[in-house]
Amino acid sequence: MKTQLVHLSSRLWALIRLLSTDDAYERYLAHRARHHAAEPLLDRRAFYLCEQEHKWNGVKRCC
């Protein structure tokens, strides 16, 4: 019961992080490691700034 609850809450936490893009950098690292292991990486801050610039380049919010 307790382990189930822990499991459930950790999944919920992972979902919240995913939805809010809190884990974007970790996902970026994983993606790079899988597909472009040899190439240089952005640090956390450079990645965040780059993501924001990219995100707000178009119609992103509605009426």
Q: Which residues bind other proteins (CB under 8 A)?
A: 15-22, 24-25, 27-28, 31-32, 35, 44-45, 47-49, 51-63
Whose Cβ is closer to other proteins: residue 1's or residue 19's?
A: 19
Task: Read off the tokens for 47.
Answer: 């990645």
For other proteins, the closer of residues 5 and 53 by Cβ is 53
Please tell me what DSSP assigns to residue 63: -
Least Å distance, CB 2 to other proteins, is 25
Enter the DSSP assignment of 7.
H
Question: Quick count: other Cβ atoms within 10 Å of Cβ 52?
Answer: 10
